[in-house]
Amino acid sequence: MIYGLTGGIATGKSTVANMFRKLGAVIIDADQISRQVVEPNTIGAQKIKSHFGKDLFSAEGQLKREKLAQLIFHDSEARIQLNALLHPIIMDEMQRQSDQVIQQDEQAFMIWDIPLLYEENLTNFVQKVIVIYVPEEVQRTRLQLRNNLSRDEADSRIRSQLSIEVKKSLADYLIDNSGTAQQTKRQVVALWNHLT
């Protein structure tokens, strides 16, 4: 069975994914794969270059991530175009990694960590969805601190995704990450025990 793990920006998906990993889950991380598929000389990098231009890349061919973020968080059309370019490549790689895991262990507890699971209509790839939740105010504060953003910048990034309250309402399982790390861990362990 493949579980989907999602939430909003700065809700703590990576923290929770690591907790599940320590318990024995295999994590297939869409963010990590999205970085790999735009490394220099990859098909992802070539697609971005031909669509958005060379100025998004350094002389060595490295993608200027912050420059790309500025573009896509302020231009919803550009964000849609970027997702259309990269998502098929990312999904192919996630599927390839999953097939590899299943070949080695058919009983593996697999989690697909996908920030845009709902936004990109990817729920058909997973059997159940775990949503990591914090109230939007907590989300905004954490995002501002983590990325050194103004309130307006943080809000534009939060608004680029489906509302965390909507995701909460769609969840099969919910982990509230607005308390302490210990409180979150207790919920993760309880869910792990329930699911395994």
Residue ending a domain, choose from 108, 123, 147: 108
Q: Are residues 104 and 117 in the same domain?
A: no
**In which element (H, E) is residue 95 found?**
helix 76-104
Quick: pLDDT tens for 3-15. 999 999 999 999 9
Could you list the residue range(s) of the whole structural domain that residue 121 is in? 1-25+109-196
Residue 24: band (very low, low, confident or very high) from pLDDT cuts 50, 70, 90 = very high
Structural domain count of the chain: 2
Residue 74: band (very low, low, confident or very high) from pLDDT cuts 50, 70, 90 = confident
Residue 73 has pLDDT above 90, yes or no: no
Q: Are residues 195 and 113 in the same domain?
A: yes
CA distances from 49 to 22, 32, 57, 166 (A): 38, 20, 8, 34
Residue 70: band (very low, low, confident or very high) from pLDDT cuts 50, 70, 90 = confident
Residue ending a domain, choose from 47, 81, 108: 108
Distance from the first to the final alpha carbon of the chain: 11
Q: In what order do the strands lie in the sheet with 128-133?
A: 26-29, 110-113, 2-7, 128-133, 173-176
- For the segment 22-28, the average pLDDT, to the nearest whole number, is 97
pLDDT over 90 for what percent of the chain?
85
CATH number for position 142:
3.40.50.300
Residue 69 has pLDDT above 90, yes or no: no
Residue ending a domain, choose from 92, 108, 124: 108
Q: Are residues 12 and 56 in the same domain?
A: no
Q: Are residues 117 and 152 in the same domain?
A: yes
